Amino acid sequence: MYRSTIDERLPSTHARYNGATSACVAPILSGALYYISKRHTDSMKRILCPTDLSSTGDHAIDTAASIASRAGAPLDILHVVQTSAARDEAATDLAQIAAMLRAKGINCEGQVREGDIFHAIPEAIAAADHDLMVLGTHGLRNLKQKLLGADVLKLARKVKVPSVIVQEQASLNNFERIVMPVAGHNDVKGLLDAVCSMAKIHGSEVHVFQAMRPMDRPSDQLLKNKRDMLIRLQEEGIKHIEANVPPETFSVGYAQHIIGYAKKVGAGLIAVIADASPDMTHLADAEKERMLFNDAHIPVLCARDGSQVK
């Protein structure tokens, strides 16, 4: 049975970081912060949290509830059943969860849909015009899933809205620092919109991260995206750091460097594009999965490459 673990508590924009840890990127203390009093009218309109009613799903609900509370956004809890026989029991469970969250000041409703998650969840998002999904993940369960791509990554690429992917072991935190790696995707506006929204809701500091490999030559698109990220954060008045970091170890991809930096600065969220970038197609799924299931259990914000959204 779901039990909320959230505590109710009140709650120059640009710097450059080139490798040495400083006071501005010291590790933070994670904790359950619940902003009932602070609302953001320019942020999220409605949040969806699909759950399988497991402990992992409960952890995702806590994260979704925390974001909804800070944003002043309604929250829908969704459970997808395979047969109509399972509807009544699921509806009862969701009604209890929604009632608990409403008692904490969150506008919350439960809903049950029948079918396959890859169809039912996108349909639910489209029907209610959600602009964020929060999803718990059990990680890579078996070799077949690892080879074919984790279901959670497939789902993040299936929906048109950003997704916050939460591992069960993740600490409920206030996303005080967000690490946003630069990438060579054709359209990063969706990622920037999502990061700016989350940063405003949580008062976050955003680290625009680039691994500076001696022999690498960044693409023109990657450099343009980096400029766009820095300009947008400056225009939005969001505190940010341009983190140009030489890798400490060799790795074919970039996930290891991103996760290592996120650990080092005490990041509460890593923000990436779910789709494969043109220059990393052959490594895309493995690299994305490594970030989603990172050993630091840092939640990951996934947004879509606008050029790949149909």
Residue 23 is given by DSSP the state G
Q: What is the pLDDT of residue 302?
A: 95
- What number does CATH give the domain 177-308? 3.40.50.620
pLDDT of residue 249: 64
| pLDDT of res. 1 | 65
Which residues of the chain fall below pLDDT 70? 1-43, 139-150, 248-252, 278-284, 310
pLDDT recorded at residue 285:
76
Angle between helices 55-71 and 189-202 (to 10 degrees): 80
Q: How do the domains of the chain map onto residue ranges?
A: 34-167, 177-308
Sheet arrangement for strand 14-17: 14-17, 240-245, 205-211, 177-181, 269-273, 300-303, 163-167, 132-137, 47-50, 75-81, 108-114
Contacts of residue 85, Cβ cutoff 8 Å, sequence gap at least 6: none
Q: How far is Cα of residue 283 from the mean position of the Cα atoms in its chain?
A: 21
Task: Report the candidate in 100, 109, 146 with the shortest Cα–Cα distance to residue 127.
Answer: 109
CATH superfamily of 34-167: HUPs (3.40.50.620)
Evaluated on CA atoms 208, 209, 213, 217, the torsion sign reads negative
Number of other CB atoms surrounding residue 172 within 10 Å: 20
| pLDDT reported for residue 145 | 41
pTM confidence score: 0.84
Alpha carbons 181 and 245: distance in angstroms, whole number: 11
Domain 34-167 and domain 177-308, same fold? Reply is: yes
